[in-house]
């Protein structure tokens, strides 16, 4: 009986479906009579226009390491098939498994790394036919799509990602894509709550994809993500700034307390190194990206290391300042003894020549102290002012540049 009917070209699965006792409604039987799913609508009368709309159910993950995002979307496609016109004023909602009996667009997601169609409890597909031959085809898809990111301003960056839809086999002479309601064709973003991002803007565009095999219809959905910086302020910026302030404590410790000052300097340097390594673990190891957070951590490390070098310089100046003073004092004492007659030995001519060849005490003192600070303790006094002021100025320049430029 079945094999003698006009449905002889239908897939075997369809006949098995009927053999199990499921009888198609008369309206569907009339629609499918002589229908060929391998031919697109308006096969000899111009391209078929397919309208699209999206509902973003969720954006699960946004990965800077893999430079992609994973989203669950409801993709809805509408087109008109003149072969499916029927009398009536109500639409027909069919089982999703009957999609295999109809012609559907060969839409695919460009730059998709992996995608799957949800199938719990059945394949999440909807097919609805309207009396004028309009077909509504909806799918629930989870896809991981590549998104090229510019991380030079991380974590104060904004990323613009896209979701591109193209036809795989039909060129623009066969199929034309359009957004059903323009920018309002995509919904669901306003209600999303992302962990690190907020959706600032989104819009749609229509273009063509040009390949060697021809020109193909293309729809693009653009959305801009702004990263929330509060987490990074609490996790990285505040601790690194406090470490810089901690390194300044050594400026108020006596220069004679060598263990205390060395301990503060070395501890802050090592802690800052650990903080820098931890901040890079969640980011791609790409040499082309010098990120904003790397610049700030580098600035903090430079100030901490500079505080340690400051004590080394101050301590060296203290030693060189004390040495000439002691040497100058001993020489002046010997000279006074000689002038007062304490040293009254009669020197030989050779000893007199040797004494004349020795430098004058004042000349020796000036030669040893010309390159040193008058009082090494002033170095700490200057550092107490210059280091904080310099750090504040660098912070103003840093935040102004990365937030407004």
| Interval 334-391: pLDDT, tens | 544 544 544 444 444 545 544 555 544 555 455 445 445 667 778 899 999 999 999 9
Percent share of the chain, pLDDT over 90 = 60
Percent share of the chain, pLDDT over 70 = 79
How far out from the chain centre does Cα 249 lie?
Answer: 35
Question: Does 330 or 218 have the greater pLDDT score?
Answer: 218
pLDDT, residue 278, reads 85
Q: How large is the average pLDDT for residues 14-25?
A: 46
Residue 14 has pLDDT above 80, yes or no: no
pLDDT, residue 50, reads 97
Q: What is the DSSP string of 134-149?
A: EEEEEEEEEEEEE---
CATH of span 231-404: 1.20.58.390
Would you call the peptide bond into 121 cis, given omega within 30 degrees of 0 as the criterion? Answer: yes
Dihedral angle computed from the Cα positions of residues 93, 97, 103 and 104, in that order, rounded to the nearest 10 degrees = 80
**pTM for the model:** 0.77
Q: What is the largest CA-CA distance in the chain?
A: 146
| Residues 51-67 pLDDT 10s | 999 999 999 999 988 89
Report whether 232 contacts 282 (CB < 8 A).
no
Residue 12 has pLDDT above 50, yes or no: no
Among 289-293, 304-308, 358-362, the range with the most confident prediction by mean pLDDT is 304-308
DSSP 8-class letter at 91: -
Question: Which fold would CATH assign to domain 7-228?
Answer: Acetylcholine Binding Protein; Chain: A, (2.70.170)
Confidence of residue 126 (pLDDT cuts 50, 70, 90): very high
Confidence of residue 9 (pLDDT cuts 50, 70, 90): very low
- Main-chain phi, psi angles of 268, to 5 degrees: -65, -35
Count other Cβ atoms within 10 Å, centred on residue 295. 15
- Cα–Cα distance measured from residue 108 to residue 400, given in angstroms and rounded to the nearest whole number: 43
- Cα–Cα distance measured from residue 329 to residue 102, given in angstroms and rounded to the nearest whole number: 108
pLDDT, residue 285, reads 63
Of 230, 224, 185, whose CA–CA distance to 202 is shortest? Answer: 224
Residue 244 has pLDDT above 90, yes or no: yes
Confidence of residue 251 (pLDDT cuts 50, 70, 90): very high
Tell me the average pLDDT of the chain.
83
pLDDT, residue 339, reads 47
- Cα–Cα distance measured from residue 387 to residue 381, given in angstroms and rounded to the nearest whole number: 10
The tokens for 163 are 């979701």
Question: Does 288 or 247 have the greater pLDDT score?
Answer: 247
pLDDT, residue 325, reads 53
Confidence of residue 330 (pLDDT cuts 50, 70, 90): low
- Cα–Cα distance measured from residue 120 to residue 61, given in angstroms and rounded to the nearest whole number: 22
pLDDT, residue 322, reads 63
259 sits in which H/E element: helix 258-279
Residue 230 has pLDDT above 90, yes or no: yes
HEC letters along 266-305? HHHHHHHHHHHHHHCCCCCCCCCCCCHHHHHHHHHHHHHH
Q: Where are the domains of the chain?
A: 7-228, 231-404
Residue 70 has pLDDT above 60, yes or no: yes
Least confident of 80-94, 137-151, 331-345: 331-345
């Amino acid at each position: 009986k079945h094999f003698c009917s006009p449905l002889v070209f239908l897939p075997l699965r369809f006949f098995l479906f009927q053999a199990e006792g499921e009888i198609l409604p008369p309206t569907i039987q009339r629609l499918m009579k002589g229908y060929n799913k391998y031919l697109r609508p308006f096969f000899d009368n111009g391209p078929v226009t397919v309208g699209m709309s999206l509902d973003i159910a969720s954006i699960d993950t946004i990965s800077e390491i893999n430079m992609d995002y994973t989203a669950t979307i409801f993709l809805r496609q509408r087109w008109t098939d003149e072969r499916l016109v029927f009398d009536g004023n109500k639409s027909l909602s069919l089982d999703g498994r009957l999609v295999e009996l109809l012609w559907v667009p060969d839409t695919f997601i460009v730059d998709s790394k992996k995608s799957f169609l949800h199938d719990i409890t059945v394949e999440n597909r909807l097919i609805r036919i309207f009396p004028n031959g309009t077909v509504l085809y909806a799918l629930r898809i989870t896809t991981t799509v590549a998104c090229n990111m510019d991380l030079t301003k991380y974590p104060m960056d904004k990323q613009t990602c896209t979701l591109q839809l193209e036809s795989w086999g039909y060129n623009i002479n066969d199929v034309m894509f359009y957004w059903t309601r323009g920018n309002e064709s995509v919904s669901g973003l306003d209600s999303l709550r992302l962990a690190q991002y907020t959706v600032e803007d989104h819009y749609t565009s229509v273009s063509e994809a040009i390949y060697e095999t021809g020109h193909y219809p293309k729809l693009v959905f653009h959305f801009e993500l702004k990263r929330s910086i509060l987490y990074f302020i609490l996790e990285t910026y505040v601790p690194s700034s406090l470490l810089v302030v901690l390194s300044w404590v050594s400026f108020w410790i006596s220069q004679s307390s060598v263990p205390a000052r060395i301990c503060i300097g070395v501890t802050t340097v090592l802690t800052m190194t650990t903080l820098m390594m931890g901040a890079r673990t969640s980011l791609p190891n790409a040499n082309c990206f010098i990120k904003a957070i790397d610049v700030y951590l580098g600035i903090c490390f430079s100030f901490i290391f500079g505080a340690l070098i400051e004590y080394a310089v101050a301590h060296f100046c203290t030693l060189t300042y004390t040495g000439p003073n002691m040497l100058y004092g001993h020489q002046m004492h010997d000279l006074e003894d000689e002038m007062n007659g304490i040293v009254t030995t009669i020197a030989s001519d050779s000893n007199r020549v040797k004494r004349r060849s020795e430098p004058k005490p004042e000349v020796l003192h000036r030669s040893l102290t010309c390159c040193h600070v008058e009082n090494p303790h002033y170095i700490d006094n200057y550092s107490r002012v210059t280091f904080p002021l310099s750090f504040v100025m660098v912070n103003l320049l840093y935040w102004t540049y990365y937030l407004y430029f």
